[in-house]
Amino acid sequence: MLSESVHAEKKKESSVGQSVEPEVVPVARPVGLIAKRRRFTTEYKLRVLEEADQCTEPGQIGLLLRREGLYSNSLYNWRKWRDKLTSKKDNAVSSVRDLRNENARLKRENARLHLKLKKADALLDLQKKASEILKMADLDESEND
C-alpha cells in the first residue's frame, strides 16, 4: 500500500511540466447509429484559428487539434473561410464602387433602349398614317371613276 502511494506521487511529479497525453480516446457509439455531424460556431472557429496561429513550436498544432477533437482538414478549411471573409471586407469598398458603375451603365442602356423604342413607335405610327392616306387616295380615285 505504501509503495502504491509512492508510485502515485512519482507519477504526479513526472507529469508536472509535460504535455497532455497525445492519444485520442475513442468515443463509444452504439452499433448501427450514424455519427451526428458536428457544427461549430463562428466564435469557436475563430478562437481555434487564433490559437493555431499562435503555435510556433513543432507539434503544438497537433496537440491543439487532439485537444479539440478536430482534424487538420477542418483547420485548413476554416483558414480558407476566414481568408475569404477578410477579403470580402477589404473588397467591400470596391464592390460598392463596382455596383454604382454597373448601375450607371444599366441606366444609360435603359435610356438608349427607351429612345429606340420611341423611334420604333413613331415609325409604326407613320406607317399607319401613310397607309390611311393611301387608302383615302384609292377611295378618291375609285369614286372619280
Is residue 127 situated within a structural domain?
yes
CB atoms within 10 A of CB 55: 13
pTM: 0.42
Position 97 in a domain: yes
Residue 17: strand, helix, or coil: coil
113 assigned to some structural domain:
yes
Count of residues in the chain: 145
Number of domains composing the chain: 1
Give a yes or no: residue 109 inside a domain.
yes
**2 contacts: CB under 8 Å, gap ≥ 6:** none
Structure-block grid coordinates of residue 92: 467591400
For 63, the domain range is: 41-144
pLDDT per residue rounded down to tens, the chain (145 residues): 444 544 444 444 444 555 666 676 666 566 666 667 889 999 999 999 999 999 989 999 999 999 999 999 999 999 999 988 877 766 666 777 888 999 999 999 999 999 999 999 999 999 999 999 998 888 878 777 6
Contact 81, 45 (CB under 8 A): yes
